[in-house]
Amino acid sequence: MRIFEDVGRLFDGGVDLTVGIEEEFQILDGATLELTGRFAELKAAADARFGDTLVVGELICSEAEINSAASATFQEAREDMRRRRGALVEAAASLGLKLCATGVHPFSRWEEQGFIQTAHYRKVVDGLRYVAWTNNTFGLHVHVGVRGADRAVAVCDAYRSLLPPILALSASSPFFRGSETGLHSTRAQVFIRSFPRCGIPDAYGDWAGYADYAQFLYDTGSVTEPTQIWWTVRTHHKYGTLEIRIADAQPDFEDAMAIAALNVALAGALLEEYDRAGSLPVHATRFIEENRWRALRWGLGARLIDLDTRVQLPATEVIARLMDRAAASVGRLGLEGEMSRIETMLREGNSAQRQLEWFHAGVDLFEIHRRMVEQTMRVPGRAVS
């Protein structure tokens, strides 16, 4: 069965620049701040407080995910996520729980975590075994609507090169299993280098090229559903979106929304460039992977490579140039406030840098984690003790 004809038609009937945002949270014991497997209890309380389904299960029982509704504008998605994060935080507080949104938990161990008992996740665990057991990671995903199947693949191919600077900006996980790892995004190493069909995808040129490979995965029994393609940027078969999955989770709500907005602005800029020129620059995966390593290793302190000139530049300068590239899109989409927040992050540092600065000044790991929890539980317009 040629299943990708229907998916292609989904994109052909799509709408540009609709927005969806997903955030993943650690569920924590209120006293020890260790991961705790109280997903079902938190989901029941949060869904009731929100008045609708709010919490989505992820792989482990100590993780909660919230997703915005499909939104016509970024501002709608942002406000929806503010309400949803606020309801989740309030529900957690009512149960004596805490939440944290960093790429990995700094000291809880995967050996102590249980799994969500759904058919989907039982299949994931049975199929991946150790790879699934160790995947205690937390991310920020952004969906951007794209009209046209060939257009979606063209933008996805070009977006691959933008993933490392987004990773550098979002890095929030420098500690794992009780130690400093020497990485700014330990999540990117744990997840991207372990899961199959993950990391930076190949470039496929057009929908036919992509569909041929995706159909191969189905025909050979390599996958049975599209969510088993875990690339850091992918065309989403259900929503007709470009899904950008490179970022670490962010404890600070404003940082999370700024990073999401930058993703949307860059997708908008690529769409405009494609419509104007009929093509977009595409780099081979092996070159992008070098930047991906530098981003996860040094975060905003990395020197990333301009893949056109082969000149090394500070990650902060690369991101500033991306913002310039997206300036027209930012103006049209009304994202100036979020870009101001990005400028602050470039100037003052991101989550990983703040955590490392405290650590090297002698602050212990529990206290650093407590500060990240405090940031996560602080939602604009919500007062939670």
Q: Say how far apart CA 168 and CA 165 lie, in whole Å.
A: 5
Q: Say how far apart CA 106 and CA 174 lie, in whole Å.
A: 8
Q: Which domains does the chain have, with CATH numbers?
A: 4-376 (3.30.590.20)
pLDDT tens digits, one per residue of 241-287: 999 999 999 999 999 999 999 999 999 999 999 999 999 999 999 99
pLDDT of residue 95: 98
Q: What is the DSSP string of 326-356?
A: THHHHHHHT-HHHHHHHHHHHHH--HHHHHH
User: What is the arithmetic mean of pLDDT over 301-309?
Assistant: 97
Give the helix ranges, DSSP H, for 96-148.
119-128, 130-133
pLDDT of residue 384: 55
Contact 204, 150 (CB under 8 A): no
Mean pLDDT check: name the lowest of 191-195, 260-264, 312-316.
191-195
Q: Say how far apart CA 315 and CA 297 lie, in whole Å.
A: 12
Residue 179: which residues within 8 A CB-CB, separation 6 or more? Answer: none
> Which helix H or strand E contains 262, and what residues bound it?
helix 253-277
> Residue 29 CA to chain centroid, in angstroms?
24
Cβ of 334: how many Cβ atoms within 10 Å? 12
Tell me the pTM: 0.95
- Length reported for the chain: 385
Read off the DSSP letter of residue 115.
Answer: B
**Residue carrying the six token digits 């993950």:** 198
Token digits for 253? 């709500």
pLDDT of residue 272: 98
pLDDT of residue 1: 40
Residue 244 forms beta bridges with which residues? 142, 233
Token digits for 259? 């990073």
β pairing state of 97-100 and 19-29: antiparallel
pLDDT of residue 383: 58
Residue among 53, 36, 31 at smallest CA distance from 44: 53
Taking CA atoms, 198 is separated from 170, 194, 218, 346, in Å, by 18, 8, 16, 28
